[in-house]
Copies of this chain bind each other. A is one copy, B any other.
């Protein structure tokens, strides 16, 4: 079953029609708030916990369909939390948050089944995409939404990372891909440069605000070149993508 989210998109629902539930575990409150907001915006129900104890308790009563888990918590270490979570919810997929340099040795082996991880600092777009992927693949949602976004004659496949316009394959860099994904997930909606920056770039990005303009320019060269433009500037407001027609 699907329904319309506040954004007018189809969203994931559980078999009984209730919204998907996601548990966010991180000791930094700024992070849990950031994530909760972003994930709530997807139409999901969010609960957050700031330490391992809370996390296990929350898991027990909240029974989330997915968990976002920081691997370094103050009380229990991430592995211990994971192990207790698994005892409560053997099947729940987990998205691990980890420092970039801790990746190889600590996480290796953890993402056994359908799990996944992202390194800090992450971009919200990335976290949301991964959580969506986890839920989709876990089968908690009763429908397997297409992994392909379509706007007009433009398509973007989130699995294969392939992008086409009017049938022509288009090569994008990683950043361009994320930007386009964000736009395409919000067609006919004006997104401000600030929103885009928050969403597509890492949360600790300290650079010039005009990277967004720059990347919009790159995208236009690649997807709008010589065609009816799909990316539109709303001067003073932001950018919007919509079908050419």
Contact = CB atoms under 8 A, between A and B. Distances in A.
A38 B113 CA distance: 4
Contact of A112 (B38, B112, B116): B38
Given A6-B139, A174-B235, A111 B198 contact: yes
Nearest to A242: B160
A107 B206 CA distance: 10
A173 B195 CA distance: 20
Contacts of A18: none
Interface in A92-136: 103-105, 107-117, 124, 136
Interface in A27-45: 29-30, 33-41
Given A30-B83, A33-B86, A189-B159, A205 B40 contact: no
A73 B229 CA distance: 44
A89 to B, nearest CB: 12
Given A108-B205, A194-B117, A203-B108, A138 B38 contact: no
B194 A103 contact: yes
A97 B173 CA distance: 34
Contacts of A240: 160-161
Nearest to A5: B139
A76 interface: no
A182 to B, nearest CB: 13
Given A8-B144, A105-B206, A111-B198, 13 more contacts: A7-B137, A34-B110, A34-B112, A35-B112, A36-B90, A37-B86, A37-B113, A103-B209, A104-B209, A111-B195, A159-B188, A159-B190, A161-B237
28 contacts: A6-B136, A6-B137, A6-B138, A6-B144, A36-B90, A37-B86, A37-B114, A37-B115, A40-B113, A41-B112, A41-B114, A46-B90, A104-B197, A104-B206, A104-B208, A108-B194, A108-B201, A108-B204, A109-B124, A109-B203, A109-B204, A110-B198, A117-B194, A159-B189, A160-B189, A160-B190, A161-B234, A161-B237
Q: Which 7 A-B pairs have the closest CB atoms?
A: A174-B236, A41-B113, A109-B203, A37-B113, A37-B112, A38-B112, A6-B139
